[in-house]
Chains A and B, each alone.
Chain A
């Protein structure tokens, strides 16, 4: 299939997902028994204020009309006005998404850099101490609550040792870099602001490890089991019989094949990192989308919830696209489509 046809198909797929997601989210938001206007205006609002607010947000119209108005706005790039922050949702997303994206990418980097080597080492040293160590580490990663891990890391590296900052994206007395992408590390590099670069990288370490620990554990386990499977394959024996060095056998024949199932996990993990950043963002005062999404959901701010959900759908689809292209890279026999 040509690359153009591949992307066209994917684009249609994304549209279908978006329409589905928007209908489901819209329906669920409106099935909640509580009134978003009461949530927004609070205890003291009078009936006429509530009615005025309802009219202002079009909430007095039938549900189908509300959906049509919403989709019409969507087609013009208008995600509506947040009931809670009273700002256009698109502005809120633009403010908060880059922080979450930066944190999620850093966490993904942590989980790939640590998860894949740990899985490989573990499989090669099966049932010996390095394997046991990695398995204990994975078990902990799967069972430690994120907020607890975050607090412990802050307690050790910030409060006790003072090696790393305890929260925020950059030191309170350092100017953030000029905004280009919204990712502080990238922007500091692009603008050559080394002070900001140092501070923003230091600020990323603890939250990235906290958020990335669970996925590191998942990836290392996946990598271990797929390596073990690959290591027993006939072609591995053939490669060894040809007289290839063990390192070449493992890396070129073993790792490359074992990475394919792990790629799937990495794709799914990225999506879950984005949506799972809520607790990490709260503990580390990280001004991201996770906290915005939670606050919106609690306040029944459905334009904001819809905006976040649609953005998440796009990111998920995009992550899957990257994974599909990754398959191709690892194994040219796999056809995209």
Chain B
């Protein structure tokens, strides 16, 4: 064989080698360090949604944030959306209402002041079954919560830090009764709100224990499987492509549509065209312009939902003249909030100015600020700053929730502040770089967002007021011990009405004394096929797929 012939044969041979190296599952995988990432699983051959479009709801969204579908690991919006469909929690919020806690797997519960600690007793609902057919028992609840603490992944801090729960804080009294003890410094109402979240999901301990490898509590298996009692089971997750949910035959709640296909469609234009063609039933990430464009088209409907995000400017009170409360109040008065919401965001936001977002208990609807240049100038004169000053505004890159670029919102603030002789130098960096400066108290003004870790007012009021929590108040160097103590006290109140009153008092104080300019609370937009009924968005960041029909 000539040299040339030989070399030509080598081309496909080498090529085949490269391909073989890339083929999933075939090659051995690198062993990860023991404490990191779930162990690699063998690639599962995905199967398409059965029997076509009629009994399948197709939900198109950018789900690139998803890391795991294990309820003890997932702490990303897309992962939580899916975990929520496959698992039940002891207590829950229903639909879009985040102020009333309802029974879930627990038919009733009771909070007792046991002297040096709180004691919460949960009685499980009769007849509850997991997808495997196993009955839901108190042991499953104990296993699930201890599993969260032992794995210690992203959402574990809700149990270990916020609720201050330890593995021995939870015990099964009998097959139907679970008792959880919390220290007096933890908020029982806050804990109930945490339990409504995906971290509170109850897993089928028998099923999970059967899939444990390397002491991982079954986490590698739960990465793309489910073991819950929710209306759906996770059929498969093909990364960057789709997740398919199928109805759980043993669930107490029977879904109206038996299959849900969550498709990864990163480009919003593609979501729009797929919706218009009828390939998708719901499109998650349409911009306000796209929503305006599809409105009124045949076969298309739109829906909105709240989010719990607040877009705000943090003011570092160690930076002069921001140490003066009058200057901070003047800056709040100089902003044209209505202009931002109506013009920049085309109305895709709510005017909210206190530190608890609309939708959570304790929400303060008071909006005392709208641009008033004369009043702002008077306050600056009172503070001896009428000649003006210059500040740096840190902003992230990309789009802000609500549909405007961060840079456009910053430019609007720059124009507004210029009217009171305050010059803004805008510095745009990646969010990671911005957070690095902000966390180190190195920002002067920082334009950024905040969303609560769990659906309870304490998840906002704590970070915004308590310097010692080393969160938002710390980043802005605002150390007000009185308000921080009031916030800690309010968190512990068990009576919902008294607690709401306490939060009203705190939020009113922060409105005028805190180092924040709360700009708005964004609204979420969805495109739907007009035959889709029963779609309700919860501001936690999910919808109940089982209530949707078409």
Contacts and interface: CB of A to CB of B under 8 A. Distances in A.
Contacts of B56: 173
A260 to B, nearest CB: 15
A298 interface: yes
B210 interface: no
Interface stretch (B4-12, B246-254, B357-365): B4-12
Interface stretch (A178-186, A223-231, A243-251, A261-269): A178-186
Contact of B266 (A88, A282, A300): A282
Contacts of B8: 325, 329
Nearest to B28: A77
A88 B32 contact: yes
A129 to B, nearest CB: 35
Contacts of A57: 36
A336 B431 CA distance: 49
Contacts of B498: none
Contacts of B267: 167, 282-285
Interface stretch (A42-50, A118-126, A134-142, A211-219): A42-50
Interface in A78-126: 78-79, 81-82, 85-88, 90-91, 93-98, 101
A166 B31 contact: no
B67 A86 contact: yes
A180 B23 contact: yes
B432 A300 contact: yes
B341 to A, nearest CB: 23
B263 A172 contact: yes
A179 B277 contact: no
Interface in A28-77: 32-36, 38-39, 41-44, 46-47, 49, 56-57, 73, 76-77
Contact of B4 (A93, A283, A291, A328): A328
Contacts of A19: none
A36 B10 CA distance: 42
A176 B238 CA distance: 11
Contact of B470 (A32, A47, A172): A47
A79 B30 contact: yes
A12 interface: no
Contacts of A181: 19-20, 22-23
Contact of A173 (B49, B429, B463): B49
Contact of B32 (A81, A169, A174, A291): A81
A94 B263 contact: no
Contact of B432 (A7, A38, A82, A169): A38
Q: Which of the four size classes fits the interface of chain B? A: 35 or more
B53 A179 contact: no
Contact of A97 (B20, B22, B470): B22
A283 B429 CA distance: 26
A300 B242 CA distance: 25
Contacts of B482: none
Contacts of A155: 273
Q: Which of B3, B261, B432 has the most CB of A within 10 A?
A: B432
Nearest to A169: B241
A300 B47 CA distance: 34
Contacts of B273: 154-155, 158-159, 166
B115 interface: no
A3 B3 contact: yes
B240 A291 contact: yes
B131 interface: no
Given A167-B270, A287-B239, A295-B64, A86 B37 contact: yes
Interface stretch (B38-46, B135-143, B486-494): B38-46
Contact of A166 (B40, B270, B448): B270
A38 B38 CA distance: 21
B304 interface: no
Nearest to A287: B240
Nearest to B430: A34
B264 interface: yes
Contacts of B534: none
B25 interface: yes
A291 B64 contact: yes
A299 interface: yes
Contacts of A300: 430, 432
B436 A88 contact: no
B14 A318 contact: yes
Nearest to B276: A159
Contacts of B4: 328-329, 332
A299 B64 CA distance: 12
A153 B360 CA distance: 45
A86 B219 CA distance: 13
A38 B24 contact: no
Q: Which of B23, B58, B238 has the most CB of A within 10 A?
A: B23
Contacts of B94: none
B22 A176 contact: no
A3 B263 contact: no
A77 B279 CA distance: 41
B486 to A, nearest CB: 22
A162 interface: yes
B23 A182 contact: yes
B473 to A, nearest CB: 14
Interface in B509-538: none
B311 to A, nearest CB: 13
A38 B439 contact: yes
A41 to B, nearest CB: 8
A312 interface: no
Interface string B269-293: 1100110110100000000000000
A325 B7 contact: yes
Given A49-B157, A283-B269, A283-B270, A81 B436 contact: no
Contact of A86 (B3, B29, B36): B36
Interface in A279-337: 282-285, 287, 291-292, 295, 298-300, 314-315, 318, 321-322, 325, 328-329, 332, 336
A284 B10 CA distance: 34
Contacts of A159: 273, 276-277
14 contacts: A2-B3, A33-B436, A46-B470, A73-B30, A94-B27, A97-B22, A101-B22, A175-B46, A176-B46, A178-B45, A179-B43, A181-B22, A291-B64, A292-B240
Given A154-B273, A284-B267, A285-B270, 15 more contacts: A2-B3, A34-B436, A35-B436, A43-B448, A87-B37, A101-B22, A159-B277, A172-B49, A173-B49, A176-B46, A179-B45, A183-B19, A282-B267, A283-B269, A285-B266
Interface of A: 2-3, 6-7, 32-36, 38-39, 41-44, 46-47, 49, 56-57, 73, 76-79, 81-82, 85-88, 90-91, 93-98, 101, 151, 154-155, 158-159, 162, 166-169, 171-176, 178-183, 282-285, 287, 291-292, 295, 298-300, 314-315, 318, 321-322, 325, 328-329, 332, 336
Interface of B: 3-4, 6-8, 10-11, 14, 18-20, 22-25, 27-33, 35-38, 40, 43, 45-49, 52-53, 56, 58, 64, 67-68, 154, 157, 161, 238-242, 261, 263-267, 269-270, 273-274, 276-277, 279, 429-433, 435-436, 439, 448-450, 453, 463, 470-471
Leading 8 A-B pairs by shortest Cβ distance: A39-B432, A34-B433, A287-B240, A78-B30, A34-B432, A86-B37, A181-B19, A159-B273
